């Protein structure tokens, strides 16, 4: 029955989160019904399971039928992840620009108005850029995924099914989020605040920075 | 001849795709689960792949034509589908449309040579 679990996992993995459990339960029932009709009360053979799965067809095709044949820039397989990453990226970019404003204001409170205008300009240009690049990357990912699907034209076999990943080995969502946040902060800092990376010169009080990077 | 069969298969596939919906709705005045519908329809001469029927049932449910309920009392839990009020209405309208399509097509098929004869 492990083959059945792998099959169902391969199908629901390509469907939106909200429908996964229900469809998995329904497919379990269906496959058991089909097996029972095939072998009756006799003991199950692995070949019976394979035949039933072959009758149902490749998991990708079945998932496509559940989704309906629609065209997407970013399909449901990627959409949940896309929204998650987009939120993180926008929050981090926005927050970093805000923090940049705070630091500049603390270092040089007299020109707070300049810093404020600078922050608004950074937000207006930075956020759409972040949004655009994130969307672009996912759209490209979707496109490459579709191309790969078209390449795999040969007949599907149950033995192609990948194993269900071990719970412990799956990369935790939290870990990925922390990683993305840290990288995004570093990038925003490099992009918008490079003038602060350098030798801070103090003569009695703070008097300027000799930057490492020239922007 | 095999060429003709190939064409036939393609056209039949398209033709069946539409008629399956009517067949499925017609059987759901009583609650049925997916596989019982597959068997029921095939006994009555309509062959549907489970891989086609299950997503179809789900789509009808999402559109509000069917309502569903999980029955967990049996040995294995099953999801039963039943026509909703909208579903019944839609089915009745579909039947009327279907009859008129059949009538028109029968007329076309039976009189296929008439126009030519009439003109000549």
pLDDT (tens digit per residue) in A77-89 = 788 888 888 998 8
Query: CB B51 to CB A61 under 8 A?
Result: yes
Check: CB of residue A121 under 8 Å from CB of residue A55.
Answer: no
A100-105: long-range contacts at Cβ-Cβ below 8 A with a sequence spacing of 24 or more?
A100/A188, A100/A189, A100/A192, A100/A193, A103/A193, A103/A196
Higher pLDDT, B94 or B72: B94
pLDDT beyond 60 at A44: yes
Nearest Cα residue in chain B from A66: B55
Residues, chain B: 120
Whole domain around residue B31: which residue ranges?
2-109
Place of tokens 């990925």: A176
A23: its two tokens: 């469809």
How far away is chain A from the Cα of B77, in angstroms, using its nearest Cα? 7
- Residue to substitute from A65, A66, A76, interface B, most B β-carbons within 10 A: A65
pLDDT, averaged across chain B: 87
Number of domains in chain B: 1
Query: CB A65 to CB B51 under 8 A?
Result: yes
CB pairs under 8 A between A and B: 47
pLDDT at A213: 63
Percent of chain A with pLDDT over 70: 85
Q: List, in sequence order, every beta strand (DSSP E) within A152-194.
A: none
- Burial class, A180, CB count within 10 angstroms (exposed 0-12 / middle 13-18 / buried 19+): middle
Query: CB A25 to CB B58 under 8 A?
Result: no
In a domain, B95, yes or no: yes
Check: CB of residue A3 under 8 Å from CB of residue A161.
Answer: yes
CATH value at residue B16: 1.10.10.10
A8 at B interface, C-beta within 8 A: no
pLDDT at A163: 82
ipTM over 0.90: no
pLDDT, averaged across chain A: 81
In a domain, B30, yes or no: yes
Q: Which residues contact B19 (CB under 8 A, 6 or more apart)?
A: B46
Give me the mean pLDDT over the B64-71 stretch. Answer: 91
B91 at A interface, C-beta within 8 A: no
Distance of CA A76 to the CA centre of its chain: 11
Residues of B in contact with A30 (CB under 8 A): 34-35, 50, 54
- Residue to substitute from B37, B42, B47, B55, interface A, most A β-carbons within 10 A: B55
In a domain, B117, yes or no: no
Question: What CA–CA distance (Å, rounded) separates B85 from B74?
Answer: 27
How far away is chain B from the Cα of A12, in angstroms, using its nearest Cα? 12
Nearest residue, CB atoms, B54 vs list A30, A61, A68: A30
Q: Which residues contact B101 (CB under 8 A, 6 or more apart)?
A: none
Which of A20-24, A68-72, A173-177 has the weakest average pLDDT? Answer: A68-72
In a domain, B51, yes or no: yes
| Residue whose C-alpha is closest to residue A93's, from A195, A192, A197, A214 | A192
């Amino acid at each position: 029955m492990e083959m059945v679990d792998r099959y169902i996992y391969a199908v629901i993995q390509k469907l939106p989160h909200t429908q996964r459990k229900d469809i998995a339960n329904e497919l379990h029932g269906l496959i058991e019904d089909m097996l029972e009709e095939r072998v009756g009360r006799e003991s199950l053979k692995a070949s019976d399971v394979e035949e039933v799965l072959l009758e149902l067809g490749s998991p990708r095709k079945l998932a496509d039928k559940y989704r309906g044949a629609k065209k997407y820039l970013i399909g449901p397989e990627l959409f949940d992840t896309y929204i998650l990453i987009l939120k993180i990226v926008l929050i981090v970019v926005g927050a970093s620009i805000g923090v940049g404003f705070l630091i500049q204001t603390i270092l040089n409170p007299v020109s707070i108005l300049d810093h404020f205008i600078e922050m608004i300009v950074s937000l207006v240009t930075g956020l759409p850029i972040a949004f655009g690049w994130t969307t672009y990357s996912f759209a490209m990912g979707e496109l490459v995924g579709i191309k790969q699907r078209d390449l795999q034209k040969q007949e599907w076999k149950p033995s192609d099914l990948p194993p269900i990943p071990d719970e412990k080995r799956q990369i935790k969502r939290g870990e990925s989020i922390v990683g993305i946040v840290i990288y995004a902060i570093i990038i925003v800092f490099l992009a918008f605040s490079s003038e602060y990376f350098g030798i801070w010169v103090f003569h009695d009080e703070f008097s300027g920075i000799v930057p490492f990077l020239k922007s | 001849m095999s060429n003709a069969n190939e064409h036939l298969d393609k056209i039949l596939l398209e033709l069946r795709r539409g008629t399956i919906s009517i067949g499925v709705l017609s059987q759901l005045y009583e609650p049925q689960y997916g596989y019982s519908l597959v068997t029921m329809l095939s006994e009555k001469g309509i062959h549907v792949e489970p891989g086609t029927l299950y997503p179809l049932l789900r789509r009808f449910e999402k559109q509000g034509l069917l309502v569903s309920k999980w029955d967990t009392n049996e040995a294995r839990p099953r999801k039963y589908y039943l026509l909703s009020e909208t579903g019944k209405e839609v089915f009745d309208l579909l039947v009327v449309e279907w009859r008129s399509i059949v009538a028109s097509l029968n007329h076309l098929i039976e009189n296929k040579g008439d126009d030519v004869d009439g003109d000549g």
